[in-house]
Amino acid sequence: MARILLASAVLALGQLLSCDRYPDCVNGPLAQNDVCNMDLNPSERAKALVSAMTIEEKLANMVDHSQGAERLGLPKYDWWNEALHGVADSPGVHFADSGNFSSATSFPLPITISAAFDDDLVQAIGQAIGMEARAYANAGRAGLDFWTPNINPFKDPRWGRGLETPGEDPFRISKYVEALLKGMEWFGKDPGKTEKRQLLATCKHYAAYDLERWNGVVRYSFDAIVSMQDLVEYYLPPFKQCARDSNVASIMCSYNRVNGTPACANEYLMQTVLREHWNWTSDNNYVVSDCNAVHNIYADHKWVKTAAQAAGKAFTAGTDNICEAGGWTTDVVGAFNQSLVSEEVIDRALRRQYEGLIRSDYFAVFRDEVEGPRSYGWGNVNTKLAQSLALQAAVEGTALLKNDGTLPIKLAKNQSVAVIGFWANDTSDVTMLGNYYGKPAVYRTPLWAAQEAGFQVNYATAPASGAANYSAAIQAARDSDVVVYFGGISEAFESEDKDRTVIAWPEVQRTLLRKISALGKKIVVVQLGTSIDNTPLLVNEQVNAVLWVGYPGMYGGPAAWNIITGKTAPAGRLPITQYPANYTEQVPMTDMSLRPSSKNPGRTYKWYSQAVQEFGFGLHYTNFTIRFDPRYANHSYPTTKLFAGCSLTSRKDRCPFPSHVVQVKNNGNVTSDFVALAFVTTTAGPTPHPIKELASYKRLADVRPGEERSVPLDFTIGNLARVNERGDTVLYEGEYCLVVDVPQQDKACFKLTGADVVLDVWPQPKAGNATHVR
């Protein structure tokens, strides 16, 4: 999204809060329209409303700040609401200055939540965010749609928005978003099987979007040149999950071009793939543009000459609502008056939008008491459950990257600890929140948590970058028995509209750590931020332990100390590759290819083999072993028989492959969670072959010392399939191995025999289909 300016965030606040945000379906003029007839299906109700609107009223409701129709009793509505990791500041969301609705739970960012590899936790967080967001809507302080989650794969460590995502692996992202949407969108015990939604989520940014502003290249004009193989295999699977499998309410098209065509004017992506191939039509789902992305079509991409032409191309290709920001407006009226968009297309877009609102009870009549999501209020915000989930996610998402036995720390009464670093006592109250945050009910820093625990603390701040005076930090370290340094990077380094050019630790922080190392104290480093080359810390024997916390949210301080002191044992795994600092010299951000070549060393753990620490890495306070049950060795599976009993004829990739049981044993003396990770390797299918690909995972809770558990790991046929150069997904005959853990501990190999099976025939761009895929 474009950065939210304070001026736009205050969009007619007094007017918005002075009235009920829901239409009056009982006494107002809208009560006479069938949109309020709850006996009709949502499609019929939406059609009735749009049919009653004049063309002027229709055109006024095609952008994010929809003007409504006073004649009909249809109120204004703002579609721009944010809730990436909790209800967040945005033009449609309005926090009170104090009291009720002045705050919301701020969970860790997705990059940290994802590191827990705990999908039950993800679903619970989604449900909590959805409930709080709906409560804000019911109070007239937000809309019903929220532009989250960000599911673009985080393949390049320089990308400024990687912190918003669940990481680099498309399978992990897909499972994450499946769990999140179950909790966030759906009301009831059977997610996706009811017409009623708690709120409307938006999967973004469609598609191949992972560049902000790098070496003069900006997202507003960038042309992402992507092969069909990479597009289908890497960039699109999370969106397939959203659209085909999770039936998300909305999808946002991105700023960039894809192979020459702006994403928000790309009929191939929005119609051929999204609505035809993935059949994302069951709820008449809608597409919204990123903010000013339609303006960029003519102003930056130079794809057409005028604002009216840009709007006409976007609406006709399948965009249904256009977000405007920063004073730029969309020439919707000009597009219609110049016959660049038909009234039929306008009606289609409006029906899609209003059908979404209908499914969330925006237009509703309650004969008795208000029920379901419309009943949520302030009592559903900042609940004890939500706050415990925020702490749990920050703890579970912490990954231990180095430990020589120093952790967990046990301090004697006469011992003290130095708490040092730029975010150790963050007074901005936002650094641990990253971006797209709201107003948390509390904000607990590492210093607060250390003092609350009763430690003797010597505190000193320290610079994150720039010029430095180290005297206070060195004195605090000298006066202490143990040093805990809270460093890394923050949104000042990586953010929307800001990519990095350097992925090494900031020099000012490395210098301070070298000086502290010379004191001979025990040193624990707690790293904020996404990907940094930790080599200097890993090879420095005076740095005893390193913890990665990502962006841990409002309870980042207590979460860190829970791990440091051993109250909870760490079990998080890196959701991203930690690259060496010189990686930035080996491939430009503009290179969208994944596979290694003479100009590209490869991207992600699948194709890059020189990681400092790879995707899935994470240590423990104990020693685990994981082994496959011996009965799975050297099996053969005829490919055609694998589909027996599977009714998913249009989604063969979702058909189950036989589960494999692993034995997990805690050989140490500390109770700990453990994340079982299973990857598939094969030489079948097109070359080159990936090093490995994540195929299954499961988080085990509280494995006691000496305990051994038998754990079934579930797989689908799609986990074994490969994508060919045409984009088809194929199950190839050949030899395969499942390998477990990082580093690898065991493997189970098998053969697929018989003919290759095409699971999905990928649609090719048609003549004039608005894209040319290389």
Tell me phi and psi for residue 201, to 5 degrees. Answer: -90, 160
The amino acid at 714: D
Q: Which of 192, 81, 193, 94 is nearest to 129 (CA)?
A: 81
Q: What is the pLDDT of residue 767?
A: 72
Q: What is the pLDDT of residue 188?
A: 67
Q: Which two tokens stand for residue 309?
A: 């032409």
Torsion of CA 465, 1, 497, 94, to 10 degrees: -40
CA–CA distance, 632 with 647 (Å, rounded to integer): 26
Kindly name the residue from 156, 290, 300, 426 that is annotated as catalytic: 290
Residue 479, Cβ neighbours under 10 Å: how many?
12
When pLDDT is cut at 50, 70 and 90, the band that residue 17 belongs to is: very low
Q: Which residues contact 260 (CB under 8 A, 6 or more apart)?
A: 223, 771, 772
Torsion of CA 732, 736, 740, 741, to 10 degrees: -70
**Percent of the chain surpassing pLDDT 90:** 91
Helix then strand count (H, E) for the chain reads 22, 28
The chain-wide mean pLDDT, for the chain, equals 94
In the predicted model, is pLDDT for residue 8 greater than 90?
Answer: no
Q: What is the largest CA-CA distance in the chain?
A: 80
When pLDDT is cut at 50, 70 and 90, the band that residue 193 belongs to is: low
Q: What is the pLDDT of residue 154?
A: 98
Q: What is the pLDDT of residue 191?
A: 56
In the predicted model, is pLDDT for residue 415 greater than 60?
Answer: yes
pLDDT per position as a tens digit, 372-414? 999 999 999 999 999 999 999 999 999 999 999 999 999 998 9
Q: What is the pLDDT of residue 755?
A: 94
In the predicted model, is pLDDT for residue 769 greater than 60?
Answer: no
Is residue 629 part of the annotated active site? The answer reads no
When pLDDT is cut at 50, 70 and 90, the band that residue 194 belongs to is: low
Mean local confidence (pLDDT), 731-737: 97
Tell me phi and psi for residue 181, to 5 degrees. Answer: -70, -35
Better-predicted residue by pLDDT, 5 or 224: 224
In the predicted model, is pLDDT for residue 621 greater than 70?
Answer: yes
In the predicted model, is pLDDT for residue 9 greater than 50?
Answer: no
Segment 367-375 long-range contacts (CB within 8 Å, at least 24 positions apart): 372/187, 372/196, 373/131, 373/134, 373/138, 373/187, 373/196, 373/197, 373/198, 373/199, 374/22, 374/138, 375/138
The amino acid at 249: A
CA–CA distance, 594 with 686 (Å, rounded to integer): 14
Mean local confidence (pLDDT), 277-288: 97
Q: What is the pLDDT of residue 211?
A: 98
In the predicted model, is pLDDT for residue 20 greater than 90?
Answer: no
CA–CA distance, 51 with 258 (Å, rounded to integer): 35
What is the distance of C-alpha 746 from the center of its chain?
Answer: 31
In angstroms, the Cα distances linking 156 to 85, 463, 520, 541, 603 are 22, 26, 36, 29, 7
Q: Beta strand pairing status for 145-146 and 200-206?
A: parallel
